[in-house]
Structure 1
Amino acid sequence: MHAITNSGWVEVITGSMFSGKTEEMLRRLRRAEIAGQEVAVFTPALDDRYGEDTVGSHEGRSWEAIAIESEGEAIWDLLDHLNGEQVVAIDEANFFDSTLVEVCEYLADDGRRVVVSGLDQTYRGEPFDPVPQLMALAEYVEKFQAICAKCGEPATRNQRLVDGEPAHKDDPTILVGAEESYEARCRNCHVLRSD
């Protein structure tokens, strides 16, 4: 990415699970470091799949991160961890509440490059806030697709599984998991139980 303003900007990397969102964020961070830019990485405390203070991809790559609470004013605490870094990355934005939008705007207005990665849809196929809000205000948005686990077509949906079967539409929205709980699916193969 290149500077398009005299201030900072927001980049959103989104798509379904297993589409390479975190992998792309880590690639951008490696490039920022090669360019001599200081980087700060944050992850929601809720997501400890790769360790408490680590952002990890399904491909096995990782980056040291600072875990922060994902609700309300606690999100602003990430500012206390900054020490002049030009690039601020936030993984799993879908686990944060809408306060994250204000924090990202503040960071960009402060002249920082803000790289955010997260799901844009819930397992129900509905917008997964605050990612759609971030997409609307971002200068750059890139949406990745996975491969449908059923038919091999491009996948944009997250199929939650419970004991190998599609989840019920009334199940909780947030459930931290990976291959044991989710599959990438295309629109046609995505199933939501309502019985």
Structure 2
Amino acid sequence: MAQLYFRYGAMNASKSIQLLTVAHNYEQSGKKVMVFAPAIDDRFGVGKVASRVGISREAVPIAEQSDLYEAVAAEASLPHCVLVDEGQFLSPQHVQQLVRVVDELDIPVIVYGLLKNFKNELFVGSAHLLCEADKIEEIKTVCVYCNKKATHILKYKNGKPVYTGETIEIGGNETYSSVCRRHYYHPPAE
């Protein structure tokens, strides 16, 4: 029986590399995978899943109007697994479409993404994934300032921490850092 998995973690927790590894393992076994990535994340190009370690692959871009269920169901031969990167950017409709892939097509779906934004609020896509996922798994990483588990994302503007502003601003280590709760509220002075 297929299931919907939501694997979340802070930035730099190895989510994308894990997705790429799962895709590789399926394909090495002669199985087909479909990989999706939100079009809004264009850091490495639209329709691309890329890890900070330098490995990448093409993905089906998810636009606001995309129907993920239809995209999977339209395949000449159905995939053995569907993988989604940056799940926090999914809309509630996209999450429901993935639920249909699992329940109606009996295909496992594994979604990787952030849980919370820099304001310490759940992303909309993540909130819906938490409600619908059959299995929820945390991918852990450590705080950039200490050895505690990173549970928060700290955003920087001009080298200073910020807690307000646009919720979605695509960026990497120059903009965001994964930190523990203590260092989220009390970051070290630069």
TM over 0.5: yes
CA gap of 1:63–1:85, structure 2 versus 1, over 3 A, is same
Report whether the alignment pairs 1:174 with 2:168: yes
Please tell me whether residue 53 in structure 1 is matched to residue 47 in structure 2.
yes
Local SS of the residue matching 1:27: helix
Cα 1:114–1:77 shift into 2, 3 Å? closer
Which residue does the alignment assign to 1:36?
30
Q: Aligned partners of 2:106 and 2:71: how far apart in 1?
A: 17
SS of the equivalent of 1:79 reads helix
Cα deviation, residue 175, structure 1: 0.8
Shift of 1:139: 2.3
Deviation at 1:47, TM superposition (A): 0.6
Query: In 2, distance between residues paired with 1:35 and 1:12?
Result: 23
Distance 1:66 1:148 in 2: 32
Q: Does structure 1 residue 112 correspond to structure 2 residue 103?
A: no
Residue identity matched to 2:70:
L
CA-atom RMSD, angstroms? 1.9
Letter matched to residue 25 of structure 2: R
1:146 paired residue number: 141
User: What one-letter code is carried by the residue in structure 1 that aligns with 2:56?
Assistant: S
What letter corresponds to residue 176 of structure 1 in structure 2?
Answer: I
What TM-score results when the alignment is normalised by the length of structure 1? 0.86
State the alpha-carbon separation in 1 of the partners of residues 130 and 68 from structure 2: 23
The alignment's TM-score, normalised by the length of structure 2, stands at 0.88
Aligned partners of 2:185, 2:58: CA distance in 1, in Å? 36
Contact 1:13 1:25 in 2 (8 A): no
* Secondary structure of residue in 1 paired with 2:7: strand
Counterpart of 2:159 (choices 161, 164, 189) is: 164
The 2-side partners of 1:132 and 1:29 are apart by 25
What is the distance in 1 between the residues matched to 2:31 and 2:133? 21
Inter-partner Cα distance in structure 2 for 1:56 and 1:191 = 30
- Structure 2: state its 5+ residue gaps: none
- Which structure 1 segments of 5+ residues have no match? none
